[in-house]
Amino acid sequence: MDHKILVHKPEDSVGVAIAGINAGEKVVGIITDNGYKLEVESISEIPFGHKIALKPIAQGERVVIYGWSCGYASQPITCGEHVHTHNFKSARW
């Protein structure tokens, strides 16, 4: 496997780790809609199944995955950062 991130839509701001990612690791992502590849350097550990920021996300900015807004950044998020409950607020509750 040459990639560790799945990105569903080109407009997504986060991708899903399909394997554990180490801090400082450069990882390849595949955009499933078009097969394009991208590369991101992780700045934190990203566990399997968790999200990684593909671009900087400002506090209050919506977080996009699967092509839709699933919530917003509760604090600024840096490209390559782990996106989870410490910096993300779900739109569901």
Strand partners, 59: none
Residues 6+ apart with CB under 8 A from 46: 17, 20, 21, 52, 82
**33-55: pLDDT as tens digits:** 999 999 999 999 999 999 999 99
Mean pLDDT (whole number) for 56-75 = 95
What is the rounded distance in angstroms from the CA atom of residue 24 to the CA atom of residue 35? Answer: 25
**pLDDT at 24 exceeding the cut of 80:** yes
If you compute the radius of gyration of the chain from its CA atoms, what whole number of angstroms results?
A: 12
The pTM (predicted TM-score) of the whole model is 0.93
Res 93 pLDDT > 70: no
Region for 71 from its dihedrals, namely left if φ exceeds 0, alpha if ψ lies in -120 to 50, beta otherwise? left
CATH numbers and ranges of domains, the chain: 5-90 (2.30.130.110)
User: pLDDT (tens digit, 9 = 90+) per residue, 73-83?
Assistant: 999 999 999 99
pLDDT at 50: 97
Residue 41 to residue 81: CA distance in whole angstroms: 9
d(CA 79, CA 43): 8
